[in-house]
Amino acid sequence: MTGALDGIRILDLTRVLAGPYATMILGDLGADVIKVEAPGGSDDTRFWGPPFQNGMSAYYAAVNRNKQSMTVNLKEESGKETIRQLAQTADVIIHNFKTGTMERLGLGYDDLSSINPKLIYCSITGFGETGPYRHLAGYDYIIQAMSGWMSINGTEQSGPLKVGVAVTDIFTGLYAAIAVQAALIAREKTGNGQKIDLSLFDCAISALVNVASNYLMSGEVPKPLGNDHPNIVPYSTYEAKDGLLVVAVGNDRQFQALCELLEDQAIGADERFRTNAGRVAHRHELNHRLNNELKKKTRAEWQRLFEQKSIPCGPVHTLDQVFQHPQTLARNMIIRMDHPDVGELKLVGTPLKFSHTPVTYRLAPPLAGEHNHLFIEGGSKHDEL
């Protein structure tokens, strides 16, 4: 069976994370993705390491499978003409150059849509193509700072902290994949392509969800809560006898079921903790008392008891534990792909599970210009495009 996006050709002029993550998702879904770089490879992540495997960085390998690679010199007119030629038959072009760069190259939306009116043109920038910050570059770390994400991570003692993964890039990559697919559906109805203007800044603000809504409704600036939840208690990490355990109680019924398992029956009888609103108001005392109780058993013991009562919980895992976990293995979240020069690569699998158009892993992350011979007449002009 073919993938859901089989037959869709995507011209990928992105690098680092947000764009390559989006195009990998689309490639996993069956699209034909052509990754375009400058001669020698201009995706910075090719050089971000260690670790490396036979010259390929782990960072680059994480988000560049199911793509073919060609190198193009956009400083030369011949390189620009190559992009114009490819745009004639492409369904989608995605780039993450700074605002105005593609227009200066003569490769903006107006330029390419005049060649191919059905073209879907997705621009990914730090701050978008409008507004006073439109010309600034945007790295995830800067966006986490400016969008408020760092202000809600960490504790009052630690000060603002970034999330351990470049989440604003990931959000933007996901939004880009969603937007491209929506534009493809719209094209089926109208026959026309369109431009998509995405920014890391916008996507990061959107992903604040309930925390943003809390502020907009109350006017209160949220403080960092560490592992606590701003709206639900108990919903945090607790110390079991042998390590940290997350307990996520989502309603009053679950809380009463939790209290029935504790030696200190006074916790469940305390009127202050009867409702979630009361528990939020008295979070510090409740969490302190729960921590004292949960130290009395191991994580496995608590998990067994909590599962019997349908109370959500789980141990805090390190990555070695994650990738050895039977659920990870059962869901095929570790895949292996062979590259003739790099060898066997272990990669994270897709979370997308389809019954009729399954994801396929067709191409290992490519070397720069690895597939030039497929796109260049004669097949030997690696660095001259």
Enumerate the active-site residues. Answer: 169
- Dist. CA 384–CA 6, nearest whole Å: 30
> What does the DSSP 8-state code read for residue 228?
S
Q: Which two tokens stand for residue 134?
A: 């439109």
What residues pair up with 34 in beta bridges, in sequence order?
Answer: 11, 68
Two tokens, residue 241: 């006898």
Phi, psi (rounded to 5 degrees) for 215? -65, -45
Concatenated DSSP letters of 11-66: EEE--SSHHHHHHHHHHHTT-EEEEEE-TT---GGGG--S-EETTEEHHHHHT--S
Distance (Å, rounded) from C-alpha 68 to C-alpha 81? 19
Q: How far is CA 206 from CA 49, 148, 149, 181, 310, in A?
A: 31, 11, 11, 19, 32
- Neighbour-count burial for 313-323, b at 16+ CB within 10 Å, e otherwise: bebeeeeeeee
Taking alpha carbons only, the member of 287, 278, 297 closest to residue 234 is 287
Residue 103 structure tokens: 């227009």
Counting every residue, how long is the chain? 385
